[in-house]
């Protein structure tokens, strides 16, 4: 679907998914929607990730479809061609930022320092991924980064779990959290879609 709002306003939790087999993509997306999570970020970390994106775009139009691990301008082009509704990067080079701001969809470039936040603000971007959230310093560090830039909305990912998501959501400026805990590889490979629906519902309830 085309997003009428920010991806940070769709759900308080954003599943970051690694899909090896595109045949799993549609059932996985539907399982998340059934659990109340109408958003997904498919990472470009597997060879057939874009096939998974195209399948979800075709068959699950009710989900907000993000493409993550976007590292280059070429990735932006391929993600958009596959049907991405929004784009996520773990960090941002100057060239990638230029391409992201020109994209016709919302973008969440990754930052981990105040200087990186300021660079994103220079490009007019006020919605950012905070990555890698846990190793970078967790909720306390993010609260410190966000202090001087109250106009920024963050989505922390990297080490977020069901056990700590509320600590992140309590940080001013945090609009949503993301992570892979919602879609474990073991459940995907077992095609345990009910299990993923349960994890999604539990995450929304905990948020
Ligand atoms: C991301 O790309 O957002 C992170 O790698 C997700 O990290 P996690 O596996 O710790 O949730």
State mean pLDDT over 79-86.
Answer: 98
State mean pLDDT over 188-199.
Answer: 98
What is this structure's pTM?
0.96
- Three-class SS string for the chain? CCCCCCHHHCCCEEEEECCCCHHHHHHHHHHHHHCCCCEEEEECCCCCHHHHHHHHHHHCCCCEEEEECCCCHHHHHHHHHHCCCEEECCCCCHHHHHHHHHCCCCEECEECCHHHHHHHHHCCCCEEEECCHHHHCHHHHHHHHHCCCCCCEEEECCCCCCCCHHHHHCCCCECCEEECCCCCHHHHHCCCHHHHHHHHHHHHHHC
Residue with CA closest to ligand 1 atom 8: 158
pLDDT band at 100 (very low <50, low <70, confident <90, very high): very high
**Atom number of ligand 1 nearest to Cα 180:** 11
**2 C-alpha to ligand 1 centroid (Å):** 24
Identify the pLDDT of residue 1: 64
**18 C-alpha to ligand 1 centroid (Å):** 10
Write out pLDDT tens, residues 131-162.
999 999 999 999 999 999 999 999 999 999 99
Separation CA 68–CA 89 (nearest Å): 6
**122 C-alpha to ligand 1 centroid (Å):** 26
Separation CA 189–CA 166 (nearest Å): 28
Write out pLDDT tens, residues 8-47.
999 999 999 999 999 999 999 999 999 999 999 999 999 9
**Atom number of ligand 1 nearest to Cα 179:** 11
* Ligand 1 site residues, Cβ closer than 6 angstroms: 16, 43, 68, 90, 131, 157-160, 178-181
| Residue among 17, 71, 87, 132 to mutate when testing ligand 1 (max atoms within 8 A of CB) | 132
pLDDT band at 4 (very low <50, low <70, confident <90, very high): confident
User: Above 90 in pLDDT, residue 205?
Assistant: yes
**9 C-alpha to ligand 1 centroid (Å):** 19
- Closest by Cα among 53, 108, 59 to 80: 53
């Amino acid at each position: 679907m085309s997003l009428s709002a920010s991806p940070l306003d769709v759900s308080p939790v954003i599943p970051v998914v690694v899909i090896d087999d595109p045949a799993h993509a549609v059932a996985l997306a539907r399982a998340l929607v059934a659990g109340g999570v109408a958003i997904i970020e498919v990472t470009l970390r597997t060879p057939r990730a874009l096939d998974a994106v195209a399948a979800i775009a075709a068959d699950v139009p009710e989900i907000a479809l993000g493409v993550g691990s976007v590292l280059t301008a070429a990735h932006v082009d391929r993600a958009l061609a596959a049907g991405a509704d929004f784009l996520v990067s773990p960090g941002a080079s100057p060239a990638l930022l230029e391409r992201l701001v020109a994209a016709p969809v919302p973008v969440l470039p990754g930052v981990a320092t105040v200087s990186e936040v300021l660079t994103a603000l220079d490009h007019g971007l006020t919605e950012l991924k905070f990555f890698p959230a846990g190793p970078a310093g967790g909720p306390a560090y993010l609260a410190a980064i966000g202090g001087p830039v109250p106009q920024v909305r963050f989505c922390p990912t990297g080490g977020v779990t069901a056990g700590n998501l509320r600590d992140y959501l309590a940080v001013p400026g945090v609009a949503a959290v993301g992570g892979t805990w919602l879609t474990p590889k073991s459940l995907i490979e077992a095609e345990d879609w009910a299990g993923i629906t349960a994890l999604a519902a539990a995450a929304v309830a905990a948020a």
